[in-house]
Structure 1
Amino acid sequence: MNRIEYSAEIAELLGLVRRRPSAGWPWLPGDAVPAGLPVKQSWGWLFAPDGRVLTLVNPRDGVVSLPGGSLEPEDAGDPGAALAREADEEAQALIGRPYYLGYLYDRVGSANGGHECARVRMAAALQQVGESRPDPASGRHYRRLLVAPGLAVELLGWGAPGLRQARAAVAAAVRHLGVPAAADETIEELPRAGCTLWPAG
Protein backbone atom coordinates (compact mmCIF):
# COMPACT_ATOMS: atom_id res chain seq x y z
CA MET A 1 0.00 0.00 0.00
CA ASN A 2 1.44 3.37 -1.01
CA ARG A 3 1.92 6.07 1.56
CA ILE A 4 -0.31 9.11 1.07
CA GLU A 5 1.92 12.08 0.27
CA TYR A 6 1.26 15.72 1.11
CA SER A 7 3.09 18.85 2.18
CA ALA A 8 3.48 20.26 5.71
CA GLU A 9 1.06 23.06 4.75
CA ILE A 10 -1.60 20.54 3.71
CA ALA A 11 -0.97 18.54 6.89
CA GLU A 12 -1.73 21.69 8.88
CA LEU A 13 -4.89 22.32 6.85
CA LEU A 14 -6.07 18.71 7.29
CA GLY A 15 -5.58 19.14 11.02
CA LEU A 16 -8.37 21.73 10.94
CA VAL A 17 -10.88 19.47 9.19
CA ARG A 18 -14.24 19.13 10.93
CA ARG A 19 -16.48 16.37 9.62
CA ARG A 20 -20.20 17.01 9.48
CA PRO A 21 -22.45 14.35 11.03
CA SER A 22 -24.24 12.23 8.46
CA ALA A 23 -27.78 13.41 7.70
CA GLY A 24 -28.90 9.85 6.93
CA TRP A 25 -30.52 10.68 3.60
CA PRO A 26 -31.10 7.51 1.54
CA TRP A 27 -28.85 7.30 -1.54
CA LEU A 28 -30.69 6.16 -4.69
CA PRO A 29 -28.03 5.45 -7.33
CA GLY A 30 -29.15 5.62 -10.94
CA ASP A 31 -32.78 6.29 -10.08
CA ALA A 32 -34.46 9.22 -11.81
CA VAL A 33 -35.94 11.81 -9.48
CA PRO A 34 -39.68 11.03 -9.31
CA ALA A 35 -42.10 13.48 -10.88
CA GLY A 36 -43.34 15.86 -8.25
CA LEU A 37 -40.25 15.59 -6.03
CA PRO A 38 -38.43 18.92 -6.36
CA VAL A 39 -34.68 18.96 -6.97
CA LYS A 40 -33.26 21.56 -4.61
CA GLN A 41 -29.52 20.90 -4.71
CA SER A 42 -26.86 19.57 -7.06
CA TRP A 43 -23.35 18.54 -6.01
CA GLY A 44 -20.51 17.11 -8.06
CA TRP A 45 -17.67 14.66 -8.01
CA LEU A 46 -15.25 16.57 -10.26
CA PHE A 47 -12.44 14.40 -11.62
CA ALA A 48 -8.88 15.20 -12.63
CA PRO A 49 -7.38 12.92 -15.32
CA ASP A 50 -5.55 10.85 -12.66
CA GLY A 51 -8.83 9.93 -10.90
CA ARG A 52 -8.58 12.37 -8.01
CA VAL A 53 -11.54 14.61 -7.18
CA LEU A 54 -11.88 18.21 -6.10
CA THR A 55 -12.71 18.84 -2.45
CA LEU A 56 -13.14 22.26 -0.90
CA VAL A 57 -11.91 23.11 2.60
CA ASN A 58 -13.08 26.22 4.41
CA PRO A 59 -9.99 27.13 6.49
CA ARG A 60 -12.08 29.23 8.88
CA ASP A 61 -14.14 26.33 10.21
CA GLY A 62 -12.51 23.23 8.70
CA VAL A 63 -15.68 22.06 6.94
CA VAL A 64 -15.01 20.01 3.80
CA SER A 65 -17.44 19.88 0.89
CA LEU A 66 -17.81 18.91 -2.72
CA PRO A 67 -18.58 21.76 -5.13
CA GLY A 68 -22.29 22.38 -5.53
CA GLY A 69 -25.30 23.95 -3.94
CA SER A 70 -28.88 25.05 -4.40
CA LEU A 71 -30.60 25.47 -7.74
CA GLU A 72 -31.27 29.12 -8.57
CA PRO A 73 -33.80 30.60 -11.03
CA GLU A 74 -31.11 31.09 -13.68
CA ASP A 75 -30.47 27.32 -13.69
CA ALA A 76 -33.99 26.74 -15.13
CA GLY A 77 -34.39 23.56 -13.10
CA ASP A 78 -31.27 21.94 -14.60
CA PRO A 79 -29.01 20.28 -11.96
CA GLY A 80 -26.14 20.21 -14.44
CA ALA A 81 -26.36 23.97 -14.97
CA ALA A 82 -26.53 24.49 -11.20
CA LEU A 83 -23.41 22.38 -10.70
CA ALA A 84 -21.47 24.26 -13.38
CA ARG A 85 -22.46 27.61 -11.86
CA GLU A 86 -21.68 26.57 -8.30
CA ALA A 87 -18.34 25.03 -9.31
CA ASP A 88 -17.37 28.35 -10.87
CA GLU A 89 -18.55 30.41 -7.90
CA GLU A 90 -17.05 28.23 -5.16
CA ALA A 91 -13.92 26.87 -6.82
CA GLN A 92 -13.47 28.99 -9.96
CA ALA A 93 -13.73 25.67 -11.79
CA LEU A 94 -14.66 24.98 -15.38
CA ILE A 95 -16.22 21.54 -15.75
CA GLY A 96 -17.11 19.26 -18.63
CA ARG A 97 -20.45 17.62 -19.30
CA PRO A 98 -22.05 16.46 -16.03
CA TYR A 99 -23.20 12.84 -15.77
CA TYR A 100 -26.12 12.04 -13.50
CA LEU A 101 -25.36 9.54 -10.71
CA GLY A 102 -28.52 9.49 -8.60
CA TYR A 103 -29.99 11.46 -5.74
CA LEU A 104 -30.32 11.66 -1.99
CA TYR A 105 -33.88 11.68 -0.70
CA ASP A 106 -34.28 14.41 1.92
CA ARG A 107 -37.50 13.46 3.66
CA VAL A 108 -37.18 16.29 6.20
CA GLY A 109 -36.75 18.92 3.48
CA SER A 110 -34.12 21.02 5.22
CA ALA A 111 -33.29 22.51 1.81
CA ASN A 112 -36.95 23.00 0.90
CA GLY A 113 -38.73 24.75 3.76
CA GLY A 114 -39.61 21.53 5.54
CA HIS A 115 -40.95 19.72 2.47
CA GLU A 116 -39.36 16.61 0.98
CA CYS A 117 -36.87 17.13 -1.85
CA ALA A 118 -34.06 15.56 -3.84
CA ARG A 119 -30.36 16.38 -3.67
CA VAL A 120 -28.76 15.31 -6.95
CA ARG A 121 -25.22 13.98 -7.35
CA MET A 122 -23.29 14.20 -10.63
CA ALA A 123 -19.83 13.44 -11.98
CA ALA A 124 -17.86 15.61 -14.42
CA ALA A 125 -14.36 16.38 -15.63
CA LEU A 126 -12.58 19.15 -13.74
CA GLN A 127 -11.14 20.84 -16.80
CA GLN A 128 -9.45 23.85 -15.22
CA VAL A 129 -9.56 26.24 -12.29
CA GLY A 130 -9.07 29.98 -12.36
CA GLU A 131 -7.44 32.31 -9.88
CA SER A 132 -8.74 31.62 -6.39
CA ARG A 133 -11.36 34.08 -5.12
CA PRO A 134 -14.09 34.12 -2.44
CA ASP A 135 -17.49 32.59 -3.15
CA PRO A 136 -19.74 35.56 -4.02
CA ALA A 137 -22.72 33.99 -2.22
CA SER A 138 -21.03 33.27 1.12
CA GLY A 139 -17.73 35.15 1.13
CA ARG A 140 -15.96 31.86 1.90
CA HIS A 141 -12.50 31.49 0.41
CA TYR A 142 -12.11 27.77 -0.10
CA ARG A 143 -8.82 25.88 -0.33
CA ARG A 144 -8.97 23.54 -3.31
CA LEU A 145 -7.58 20.04 -2.80
CA LEU A 146 -7.29 17.11 -5.18
CA VAL A 147 -7.70 13.85 -3.27
CA ALA A 148 -8.54 10.22 -4.04
CA PRO A 149 -12.33 9.62 -3.91
CA GLY A 150 -12.07 7.31 -0.88
CA LEU A 151 -10.16 9.94 1.05
CA ALA A 152 -12.76 12.53 0.02
CA VAL A 153 -15.40 10.37 1.70
CA GLU A 154 -13.28 10.26 4.85
CA LEU A 155 -12.76 14.03 4.89
CA LEU A 156 -16.46 14.63 4.25
CA GLY A 157 -17.42 12.25 7.07
CA TRP A 158 -20.00 10.45 4.92
CA GLY A 159 -19.22 6.88 6.00
CA ALA A 160 -20.47 3.79 4.16
CA PRO A 161 -23.26 5.61 2.21
CA GLY A 162 -20.69 8.12 0.99
CA LEU A 163 -18.39 5.33 -0.09
CA ARG A 164 -21.20 3.82 -2.17
CA GLN A 165 -21.76 7.23 -3.74
CA ALA A 166 -18.03 7.60 -4.47
CA ARG A 167 -17.95 4.18 -6.14
CA ALA A 168 -20.84 5.20 -8.40
CA ALA A 169 -18.96 8.40 -9.27
CA VAL A 170 -15.74 6.52 -10.03
CA ALA A 171 -17.58 4.00 -12.21
CA ALA A 172 -19.14 6.84 -14.22
CA ALA A 173 -15.81 8.65 -14.53
CA VAL A 174 -14.03 5.50 -15.70
CA ARG A 175 -16.75 4.86 -18.28
CA HIS A 176 -17.30 8.39 -19.57
CA LEU A 177 -14.02 10.21 -18.84
CA GLY A 178 -11.45 7.44 -19.07
CA VAL A 179 -9.92 8.08 -15.65
CA PRO A 180 -8.17 5.20 -13.84
CA ALA A 181 -10.26 3.20 -11.38
CA ALA A 182 -7.46 3.50 -8.80
CA ALA A 183 -6.69 7.18 -8.29
CA ASP A 184 -3.36 8.76 -7.47
CA GLU A 185 -3.32 9.04 -3.65
CA THR A 186 -1.18 12.16 -3.45
CA ILE A 187 -3.01 15.06 -1.78
CA GLU A 188 -2.40 18.25 -3.74
CA GLU A 189 -3.57 21.81 -3.29
CA LEU A 190 -4.34 23.49 -6.58
CA PRO A 191 -2.38 26.70 -7.18
CA ARG A 192 -4.05 29.96 -6.20
CA ALA A 193 -3.25 31.32 -9.66
CA GLY A 194 -5.22 28.48 -11.29
CA CYS A 195 -4.27 25.72 -13.71
CA THR A 196 -5.51 23.50 -16.54
CA LEU A 197 -6.07 19.84 -15.70
CA TRP A 198 -7.43 18.33 -18.92
CA PRO A 199 -5.53 19.14 -22.13
CA ALA A 200 -7.50 21.06 -24.75
CA GLY A 201 -9.10 19.04 -27.53
Structure 2
Amino acid sequence: MQRIEYSAEIAELLGRIRRRPAAGWPWRPAEEVPPWLPVKQSWGWLFAPDGRVLTLVNPKDGVVSLPGGSLEAEDGGDPGAALAREAGEEAQAVIGPAHYLGYLYDRIGSANNGNECARVRMAAALRSVGPSRPDPASGRHYRRLLVAPGLAVELLGWGTPGLRQARAAVRVAVERLGVPAAANEVIEELPMGGCVVFPEG
Protein backbone atom coordinates (compact mmCIF):
# COMPACT_ATOMS: atom_id res chain seq x y z
CA MET A 1 0.00 0.00 0.00
CA GLN A 2 1.36 3.41 -0.96
CA ARG A 3 2.11 5.73 1.94
CA ILE A 4 -0.01 8.89 1.92
CA GLU A 5 2.36 11.83 1.61
CA TYR A 6 1.76 15.47 2.49
CA SER A 7 3.62 18.50 3.72
CA ALA A 8 3.79 19.79 7.29
CA GLU A 9 1.54 22.70 6.25
CA ILE A 10 -1.10 20.32 4.90
CA ALA A 11 -0.81 18.21 8.06
CA GLU A 12 -1.61 21.31 10.10
CA LEU A 13 -4.59 22.10 7.85
CA LEU A 14 -5.91 18.52 8.00
CA GLY A 15 -5.69 18.67 11.78
CA ARG A 16 -8.42 21.30 11.72
CA ILE A 17 -10.80 19.37 9.43
CA ARG A 18 -14.40 19.25 10.66
CA ARG A 19 -16.73 16.72 9.07
CA ARG A 20 -20.38 17.59 8.61
CA PRO A 21 -22.91 15.02 9.83
CA ALA A 22 -24.16 12.85 6.95
CA ALA A 23 -27.50 14.15 5.68
CA GLY A 24 -28.78 10.70 4.76
CA TRP A 25 -30.08 11.68 1.33
CA PRO A 26 -30.62 8.50 -0.76
CA TRP A 27 -28.16 8.17 -3.66
CA ARG A 28 -29.75 7.45 -7.06
CA PRO A 29 -26.83 6.36 -9.26
CA ALA A 30 -27.30 6.78 -13.02
CA GLU A 31 -31.02 7.53 -12.58
CA GLU A 32 -32.39 10.53 -14.40
CA VAL A 33 -34.05 13.11 -12.18
CA PRO A 34 -37.85 12.70 -12.48
CA PRO A 35 -39.52 15.60 -14.33
CA TRP A 36 -41.56 16.52 -11.24
CA LEU A 37 -38.48 16.83 -8.97
CA PRO A 38 -36.66 20.18 -9.20
CA VAL A 39 -32.86 20.14 -9.44
CA LYS A 40 -31.57 22.68 -6.95
CA GLN A 41 -27.86 21.91 -6.65
CA SER A 42 -24.99 20.50 -8.69
CA TRP A 43 -21.67 19.34 -7.23
CA GLY A 44 -18.70 17.77 -8.98
CA TRP A 45 -15.93 15.24 -8.68
CA LEU A 46 -13.22 17.10 -10.61
CA PHE A 47 -10.37 14.82 -11.68
CA ALA A 48 -6.67 15.41 -12.27
CA PRO A 49 -4.92 13.08 -14.78
CA ASP A 50 -3.55 10.91 -11.94
CA GLY A 51 -7.03 10.14 -10.57
CA ARG A 52 -7.04 12.58 -7.67
CA VAL A 53 -9.98 14.95 -7.18
CA LEU A 54 -10.30 18.55 -6.09
CA THR A 55 -11.53 19.19 -2.56
CA LEU A 56 -12.01 22.59 -0.99
CA VAL A 57 -11.16 23.32 2.64
CA ASN A 58 -12.46 26.39 4.43
CA PRO A 59 -9.54 27.15 6.79
CA LYS A 60 -11.79 29.21 9.08
CA ASP A 61 -14.03 26.32 10.14
CA GLY A 62 -12.26 23.24 8.69
CA VAL A 63 -15.27 22.17 6.61
CA VAL A 64 -14.38 20.23 3.44
CA SER A 65 -16.52 20.27 0.30
CA LEU A 66 -16.54 19.38 -3.36
CA PRO A 67 -16.90 22.29 -5.78
CA GLY A 68 -20.50 23.10 -6.62
CA GLY A 69 -23.61 24.80 -5.39
CA SER A 70 -27.08 26.01 -6.24
CA LEU A 71 -28.42 26.47 -9.76
CA GLU A 72 -28.95 30.12 -10.66
CA ALA A 73 -31.09 31.69 -13.39
CA GLU A 74 -28.01 32.23 -15.55
CA ASP A 75 -27.42 28.45 -15.65
CA GLY A 76 -30.62 27.91 -17.64
CA GLY A 77 -31.53 24.81 -15.63
CA ASP A 78 -28.32 23.03 -16.70
CA PRO A 79 -26.49 21.31 -13.81
CA GLY A 80 -23.30 21.16 -15.91
CA ALA A 81 -23.36 24.92 -16.42
CA ALA A 82 -23.99 25.45 -12.70
CA LEU A 83 -21.04 23.23 -11.81
CA ALA A 84 -18.71 25.06 -14.21
CA ARG A 85 -19.79 28.44 -12.81
CA GLU A 86 -19.53 27.37 -9.16
CA ALA A 87 -16.14 25.71 -9.69
CA GLY A 88 -14.90 28.96 -11.20
CA GLU A 89 -16.27 31.06 -8.35
CA GLU A 90 -15.17 28.82 -5.49
CA ALA A 91 -11.90 27.39 -6.78
CA GLN A 92 -11.07 29.58 -9.80
CA ALA A 93 -11.25 26.29 -11.70
CA VAL A 94 -11.75 25.65 -15.40
CA ILE A 95 -13.33 22.25 -16.06
CA GLY A 96 -14.03 20.03 -19.06
CA PRO A 97 -17.49 18.76 -20.07
CA ALA A 98 -19.43 17.46 -17.07
CA HIS A 99 -20.69 13.86 -17.05
CA TYR A 100 -23.84 13.05 -15.10
CA LEU A 101 -23.48 10.48 -12.30
CA GLY A 102 -26.85 10.52 -10.55
CA TYR A 103 -28.56 12.52 -7.85
CA LEU A 104 -29.27 12.66 -4.15
CA TYR A 105 -32.95 12.76 -3.22
CA ASP A 106 -33.50 15.48 -0.61
CA ARG A 107 -37.00 14.80 0.73
CA ILE A 108 -36.71 17.50 3.40
CA GLY A 109 -35.83 20.12 0.80
CA SER A 110 -33.27 22.11 2.78
CA ALA A 111 -32.11 23.57 -0.55
CA ASN A 112 -35.68 24.21 -1.75
CA ASN A 113 -37.60 26.06 0.97
CA GLY A 114 -38.72 22.84 2.61
CA ASN A 115 -39.87 21.15 -0.61
CA GLU A 116 -38.30 17.95 -1.92
CA CYS A 117 -35.58 18.36 -4.55
CA ALA A 118 -32.62 16.73 -6.27
CA ARG A 119 -28.94 17.41 -5.70
CA VAL A 120 -27.06 16.32 -8.82
CA ARG A 121 -23.56 14.84 -8.84
CA MET A 122 -21.27 15.06 -11.89
CA ALA A 123 -17.70 14.21 -12.90
CA ALA A 124 -15.39 16.32 -15.05
CA ALA A 125 -11.73 16.94 -15.82
CA LEU A 126 -10.11 19.69 -13.78
CA ARG A 127 -8.34 21.59 -16.57
CA SER A 128 -6.70 24.39 -14.59
CA VAL A 129 -7.04 26.75 -11.65
CA GLY A 130 -6.40 30.47 -11.62
CA PRO A 131 -4.93 32.61 -8.85
CA SER A 132 -6.68 31.90 -5.55
CA ARG A 133 -9.30 34.43 -4.44
CA PRO A 134 -12.41 34.48 -2.22
CA ASP A 135 -15.70 33.09 -3.46
CA PRO A 136 -17.72 36.18 -4.52
CA ALA A 137 -20.96 34.65 -3.22
CA SER A 138 -19.80 33.74 0.30
CA GLY A 139 -16.49 35.53 0.85
CA ARG A 140 -14.90 32.19 1.74
CA HIS A 141 -11.30 31.74 0.68
CA TYR A 142 -10.86 28.01 0.13
CA ARG A 143 -7.65 26.00 0.21
CA ARG A 144 -7.55 23.73 -2.86
CA LEU A 145 -6.34 20.16 -2.30
CA LEU A 146 -5.92 17.26 -4.71
CA VAL A 147 -6.65 13.99 -2.90
CA ALA A 148 -7.52 10.40 -3.83
CA PRO A 149 -11.31 9.92 -4.11
CA GLY A 150 -11.46 7.54 -1.14
CA LEU A 151 -9.68 10.06 1.04
CA ALA A 152 -12.05 12.77 -0.20
CA VAL A 153 -14.96 10.67 1.12
CA GLU A 154 -13.20 10.44 4.50
CA LEU A 155 -12.53 14.18 4.65
CA LEU A 156 -16.11 14.95 3.62
CA GLY A 157 -17.46 12.58 6.29
CA TRP A 158 -19.83 10.86 3.86
CA GLY A 159 -19.25 7.25 4.95
CA THR A 160 -20.42 4.27 2.90
CA PRO A 161 -22.98 6.18 0.78
CA GLY A 162 -20.24 8.64 -0.17
CA LEU A 163 -17.93 5.78 -1.08
CA ARG A 164 -20.56 4.44 -3.49
CA GLN A 165 -20.80 7.88 -5.04
CA ALA A 166 -17.00 8.14 -5.34
CA ARG A 167 -16.84 4.74 -7.03
CA ALA A 168 -19.44 5.86 -9.58
CA ALA A 169 -17.36 8.99 -10.25
CA VAL A 170 -14.17 6.96 -10.67
CA ARG A 171 -15.84 4.56 -13.12
CA VAL A 172 -16.97 7.45 -15.31
CA ALA A 173 -13.59 9.17 -15.04
CA VAL A 174 -11.73 6.00 -16.06
CA GLU A 175 -14.05 5.46 -19.05
CA ARG A 176 -14.49 9.06 -20.20
CA LEU A 177 -11.35 10.86 -19.02
CA GLY A 178 -8.75 8.08 -19.14
CA VAL A 179 -7.61 8.49 -15.53
CA PRO A 180 -6.23 5.49 -13.61
CA ALA A 181 -8.60 3.51 -11.40
CA ALA A 182 -6.03 3.61 -8.57
CA ALA A 183 -5.33 7.27 -7.85
CA ASN A 184 -2.09 8.85 -6.73
CA GLU A 185 -2.35 9.05 -2.92
CA VAL A 186 -0.15 12.08 -2.37
CA ILE A 187 -2.10 15.01 -0.88
CA GLU A 188 -1.17 18.18 -2.74
CA GLU A 189 -2.24 21.77 -2.33
CA LEU A 190 -2.61 23.59 -5.64
CA PRO A 191 -0.50 26.75 -5.97
CA MET A 192 -1.99 30.04 -4.85
CA GLY A 193 -0.95 31.52 -8.21
CA GLY A 194 -2.79 28.88 -10.23
CA CYS A 195 -1.63 26.15 -12.60
CA VAL A 196 -2.60 23.81 -15.44
CA VAL A 197 -3.84 20.48 -14.05
CA PHE A 198 -5.34 18.41 -16.89
CA PRO A 199 -4.21 19.70 -20.30
CA GLU A 200 -6.64 19.16 -23.15
CA GLY A 201 -5.64 16.53 -25.69
TM-score by length of 1: 0.99
Q: Which deviations, in whole Å up to 9, do the C-alpha atoms of 1:141-163 show, x marking residues without a partner?
A: 00000000000000000000000
Distance in 1, Cα, partners of 2:100 & 2:115? 23
How does 1:166-181 map onto structure 2 within 5 Å? 166-181=166-181
Unaligned 5+ runs, structure 2:
none
> Runs of 4 or more off by more than 3 Å in structure 1?
none
SS in structure 2 of the partner of residue 175 of structure 1: helix
Q: What is the CA distance between 1:199 and its match in structure 2? A: 2.2
Q: How many residues align?
A: 201
How does 1:63-74 map onto structure 2 within 5 Å? 63-74=63-74
Percent identity of equivalent pairs = 82
Unaligned 5+ runs, structure 1:
none
Match of 1:124 in 2: 124
TM-score by length of 2: 0.99
Match of 1:99 in 2: 99
Q: Which deviations, in whole Å up to 9, do the C-alpha atoms of 1:159-193 show, x marking residues without a partner?
A: 00000000000000000000000000000000000
Are 2:112 and 1:112 equivalent residues in the alignment?
A: yes
Over the aligned positions, Cα root-mean-square deviation in angstroms equals 0.5
Q: Which deviations, in whole Å up to 9, do the C-alpha atoms of 1:10-51 show, x marking residues without a partner?
A: 000000100000000000000000011000000000000000
Q: What is the CA distance between 1:200 and its match in structure 2? A: 3.8
Match of 1:150 in 2: 150
* Alignment-mate amino acid for residue 100 of structure 1: Y
Q: Which deviations, in whole Å up to 9, do the C-alpha atoms of 1:72-105 show, x marking residues without a partner?
A: 0000000000000000000000000000000000
* Alignment-mate amino acid for residue 85 of structure 1: R
Distance in 2, Cα, partners of 1:188 & 1:10? 8
Distance in 2, Cα, partners of 1:116 & 1:46? 27
Going from structure 1 to structure 2, the CA distance change for 1:200 and 1:33 (only over 3 Å counts) comes to closer
Match of 1:28 in 2: 28
